[in-house]
Amino acid sequence: MTRRFWVYIEQEDGKVHPVAWELLGVARRLADEVNDQAVVEGILVGNHVEEIAQEAIHYGAETVYVVDDPRFKHYLNKPYTIVLTSLAQKYGPEVFLIGATTLGRDLAGAVATSLRTGLTADTTHLAMGEVKDSSKKLLLATRPAFGGNVIATIICRNHSPQMATVRPRVFSSAPRRVDAKGEIVHETIPITPDMINAEILEFISNEVATVKIEYADVIVAGGRGLGGPKGFALIKELADELGGVVGASRACVDAGWIKYDHQVGQTGKTVRPKLYIAAGISGAIQHKVGMQESDFILAINRDSHAPIFEISTMGIVGDLYEVIPSMIKQIRALKEAKHD
């Protein structure tokens, strides 16, 4: 029997969320850990999404099941849940991965309940592994719990599919292969208005939300050590100088100094930029789990015992209001020297 490893290809307005390509990479690895009968397949719901289906093949989907219908143009929980539930019932996937995005978390919780199966949220590590008393390898889904203080590996032994949502940016994208071959299968799901009973009246653009900190190369993040909301002006100045974006610890968001969209950590975004500057962030575990995979972490803190220094590539013990202005000045000098 074919063992199917499914990935939900999340898209909105014809734009794919990059986590979909990350999941295709993960699913390929998991399928390879099982045997050669395992296949990686994509699930795509929307309207006019043929091009995306083709892209999914380039990123490693062997088959893409497409539900393309004007009624599915925009995401709504209930109709999308019905679609995914009936496809899963029809094909019986063994593993089903969905991005732990705003949309994905909403959808996955409903689909898992509808299928009466287990779902592990916000996973940061996935593997197929031997489990005692199980004839086949199971999905070992690992996630932080209790604010990141504990790492728990969850299994779903007797129910299928084994579902997990996966945080964006935890895994790297699958490689795009120009010559990849795959099949696009169109599916129709009978759906009536009473199955939807919801409509979108209006969209309101949210400028802050367009800051995608999880895909930024440079993040300058501020914490409680800023002392107040005004400190973010300085953080922003350095971020602008580096072509980066502004991040924040949960303490600042809870205090109302900056919007949630900037929050890095367990309850915020997971990031892995090339450069992460943590200014005035003590480094509570819940923050660290969201940024410790950054390539280069520069920590600036007055307290030499701050836990952030345990994971920093380099640490500066000092007043950020002294260090950051000096940094901005020196970067500007370097840039000028380059132009000369």
Partner 1 sequence: MFHALVGIKQVPDTTNIRIDPETNNLIRQGVPTILNPYDAHAVGAAVEWKRKLNGKVTVITMGPPSAVIALRECIEMGADRAILISARQFAGADTLATSYVLAEVTKAIHEQDPIDLLFFGKQAIDGDTAQVGPGVAVRLGLPVVSYAVKIREVNLEQRYVVIERKTENRNEVIKTSLPTAMTCEKDIAEIPFASLPDLVYSLRYVPEVWTAESPIRFDFAQLGLKGSPTTVFKTGTPERHVAGEVFKVAELGVEWVVKAALDKIMAAGDVDSILGVKK
Interface with partner 1 in residues 208-267 (CB under 8 A): 209-210, 217-218, 242-244, 250, 266-267
270 binds partner 1 (CB under 8 A): no
Q: Which is nearer to partner 1, 64 or 279 (CB)?
A: 279
Alpha-carbon distance 14 to 121, whole Å? 25
Q: Least distance to partner 1 from the beta carbon of 84, Å?
A: 11
Residue 99, classified by CB atoms within 10 Å of its CB into exposed (0-12), middle (13-18) or buried (19+), is: buried
Alpha-carbon distance 283 to 272, whole Å? 16
- Compute CA distances 185 → 1, 47, 100, 182, 216, whole Å: 19, 15, 25, 10, 35
**Stretch 172-211 residues interacting with partner 1 (CB under 8 A):** 196-206, 209-210
- Token match 């949220």: residue? 121
Q: For partner 1, which stretch binds (CB under 8 A), given 44-52, 54-62, 232-240, 279-287? A: 279-287
Alpha-carbon distance 105 to 10, whole Å? 11
133 binds partner 1 (CB under 8 A): no
Q: For partner 1, which stretch binds (CB under 8 A), given 20-28, 31-39, 219-227, 286-294? A: 286-294
118 binds partner 1 (CB under 8 A): yes
* The two three-digit tokens of residue 49, written as one number: 């999404």
**Stretch 10-69 residues interacting with partner 1 (CB under 8 A):** 12, 17
Q: Which is nearer to partner 1, 60 or 257 (CB)?
A: 257
- Compute CA distances 270 → 144, 169, 254, 273, 305, whole Å: 12, 7, 18, 10, 24
Q: For partner 1, which stretch binds (CB under 8 A), given 23-31, 46-54, 172-180, 314-322? A: 314-322
* The two three-digit tokens of residue 157, written as one number: 């032994």
109 binds partner 1 (CB under 8 A): yes
Q: Which is nearer to partner 1, 1 or 198 (CB)?
A: 198
Q: For partner 1, which stretch binds (CB under 8 A), given 20-28, 45-53, 110-118, 171-179? A: 110-118
In a 3-state reduction of DSSP, which class is residue 79?
A: helix
Neighbours of 128 (CB within 10 A): 23
**Stretch 70-89 residues interacting with partner 1 (CB under 8 A):** 74-78, 81
